[in-house]
Chains A and B, each alone.
Chain A
Amino acid sequence: MPKMGDGMTEGKVLRWMKQPGDPVAQGEVIVEIETDKVNVDLEAEWDGVVAQLLVPAGEVAAVGVPIALIARPGEEIERLPAPTPAEPVATGAAAPAAATAEPKAPSSESAGGVRASPLARKMAAQRGIPLTAIHGTGPEGRITKEDVEAALAPGTAATEIPLTRMRQTIARRMTLSKQQAPHFYVSVSVAVDDALALRRQLNDGKSEAEKISINDLIVKAAALALVRFPNLNAAFADGVVRRLPDVNISIAVALPEGLIVPTLYHCDRKPVWQIAAEARELVERARLGRLRPDDLTGGTFTLSNLGMFEVDVFAAIINPPQAAILAVGAAKPQAVVREGSLAVATVMQATLSADHRVTDGVEAARFLGEVRRLLENPVGLVIERPAV
């Protein structure tokens, strides 16, 4: 089971396209894998013959566990026992340490201490209700058949919605981040009148498909600021801050089933029009569920924007193992004081959530100051990469 995303610890085999005995060519799709966030067609890495499928369709395998054997044509292969499904294993040195440091999700089966009749236990298990969610009315709180039926009856109990794989991933990673990364928050107000004016000029005469959004400018500003503050373009894991060579901005995209953060690579080096084009395409693919594994890996910093929902200020949870996340609200006309007089400016609030293990308030403030400077003097966003 290959690792196809930073947070990926296991994958589900959806469909085998090849069966034992089938010849495969390098690059040919052999299996469809469901990861936490996307479905991926996995290609054969060698020419050969499928010798054995180790994980049946519908089952989950941990990253690093063999899922199939491909033999050279004519080669006899010693059969391997099928791996134990869904048991996460140590993923080796190549895996980000953050993945192995994650605590195991608390098991919903940990209801051994709950009193329940054997029948009630069986009924609850069949219907996927944790015993801990059922009120027992029998002696000493024993859960009986009647109690399970009451829990199932519509209108008398809260609706239990099992988490989708995506929500499970969000729950696991956000809990990990909030529990392990000591967050602190720094906010600034940014006057974006000049940035909006620049955007108008850049978009003048362009088709809808070519237009640049304010968010694209913020991506560019954040990327350039990260070049100056490389400590925030980092991953924290196992007590080490790993400063990352590339500036890859993850952008938060809301989907009906939850949040996903695909990556825009090398934002410091790409012109704004290219960022805009790539972001548009990335969001489109995210909505269609067609993200590729590398769309979901490699991010070094995240930008989350709720401006389109008229939000003024919000604070985001850091996307581990990254060091910081920038949350921006809506740009709104506001009364400001300039040189002792009232004026009207279009102001946007930006809040940085940073990992205190990696950085401190002063660095966060300076970084935010640089983001503001770039957005308030936006010509720097569209000229050649400035000297550092």
Chain B
Amino acid sequence: MAIVSYREAIRSTLIEEMDRDLTIVLLGEEIGLYQGTFRVTADLLARYGPGRVIDTPTSETGFVGAAIGMAMLGLRPVVEMMTWNFSLVALDQIVNNAAKIRYFSGGQVDIPLVIRGPNGAGVQLSAQHSQSLEAIYAHIPGLHVVTPATPAEAKGLLRTAIRGNDPVIFLENAALYGSKGEVPEGEFVVPFGAADVARSGSDVTIVAYSRMLAAALEAAEYLAGEGVEAEVINLRTLRPLDRGTLVASVKRTHRAVVVQEQWRPFGTAAEIAATIAEGAFDALDAPVERVTGADVPMPYARNLELLALPNAEDIVRAVARTLYREIKTPSERSSGGQSDG
């Protein structure tokens, strides 16, 4: 298996699929001449020409609407959102058209549309450009919401998204573009609705997705040294949600910690906690814990931004609460047992 970056996994998938299927077109701001803000579309204009790699005006409503029209008429558009924050302008097109046209047409018209781009906090991009908007889209029937955490998942899920006939909200993460990992060769796909048990354990289930998977695995590794075997579940897709894997895991571990970068209220973690309560109530030995971003507009200052984002320390603390145990966090260990609160 080749070691590739998350960025390159997405780019190579676009190339492989565009080579395979001439109906695939790319639309977005600065994706052609500028080669993409995060260089995911580097070199694609030269490769496919302006007929298939279309630089759009700065008008999300316009180009998302155009892509929906293309999809209705037989093309397979892949739209890049420069960041998902800008999709709020196109919310009406996504929610009221993309998600509903098949329903309104009595099943006659599919919308094979992928909208992809970075979601979540980056590095000092401030309040308007650091938002995690997955719960907004996962709320809407008619959409798939996909949150790859690794290069392999980015590749396998993007291929499933492009080949499918439904609108897909494909949520990448700016902080992950440079991350590297093994990616299987060939026509490798990851199905929607199948969570991955990223680490097996018996004492507590940590649920994460996208960038938070890394924090969950870091916490699990640390907890293993403290005698706690944490199971880490990587959701991979929020809609459809793999409820079965979640419930089965919690039935074995009796405890759950759900991690999201989002704000706490009405978020993905709340949906997961409710799913666990519905499916594994009698198995729970402690309330489901949520580890989430701070319920504030994202601060620009780096120190405050770090405090507003969940990390492995927060996860360790939450796991300790579900176990009714005192567990020192990594920083408490390194500072000689002093709690930083």
Contact = CB atoms under 8 A, between A and B. Distances in A.
Interface stretch (A55-63, A117-125, A378-386): A117-125
B324 A146 contact: yes
Interface in A115-143: 117-122, 137-139
A144 B254 CA distance: 10
Contact of B285 (A137, A139, A145): A145
B282 A119 contact: yes
Interface of A: 117-122, 137-139, 144-146
B188 interface: no
A118 B324 contact: no
Interface of B: 254, 281-286, 324
Nearest to B283: A119
Contacts of B282: 118-119, 121-122
B324 A137 contact: yes
18 contacts: A117-B285, A117-B286, A118-B281, A118-B282, A118-B283, A118-B285, A119-B254, A119-B282, A119-B283, A119-B284, A119-B285, A120-B285, A137-B324, A138-B286, A138-B324, A139-B324, A144-B285, A145-B285
A146 B281 CA distance: 17
Given A118-B281, A118-B282, A119-B283, 12 more contacts: A117-B286, A119-B254, A119-B284, A119-B285, A120-B285, A121-B282, A122-B282, A122-B283, A139-B324, A145-B254, A145-B285, A146-B324
A76 to B, nearest CB: 45
Contacts of B284: 117-119
A283 to B, nearest CB: 50
A100 to B, nearest CB: 38
- From DSSP, what is the main secondary structure of chain A's interface residues? helix
Nearest to B251: A119
Contacts of A146: 324
A304 B11 CA distance: 95
B164 to A, nearest CB: 38
Nearest to B321: A139
10 tightest CB-CB pairs across the interface, nearest first? A119-B285, A145-B285, A117-B285, A122-B282, A118-B284, A118-B282, A118-B281, A138-B324, A119-B254, A144-B285
Contacts of A139: 324
A138 B254 CA distance: 15
A146 B322 CA distance: 12
A42 to B, nearest CB: 40
A137 B325 CA distance: 11
Nearest to A145: B285
Contacts of A122: 282-283
A4 to B, nearest CB: 40
A138 B284 CA distance: 14
A151 to B, nearest CB: 14
Contacts of B281: 118
Contacts of B286: 117, 138, 144
B214 to A, nearest CB: 30
Contacts of A138: 286, 324
Nearest to B287: A117
B281 to A, nearest CB: 5
A178 B284 CA distance: 44
A361 B250 CA distance: 68
B320 to A, nearest CB: 12
B246 to A, nearest CB: 16
A117 B286 CA distance: 6
Count chain B CB atoms within 10 A of each CB in A117, A120, A122, A137 and give the residue with the most: A117
A121 B324 CA distance: 17
B149 to A, nearest CB: 30
A117 B285 CA distance: 5
A125 B283 CA distance: 13
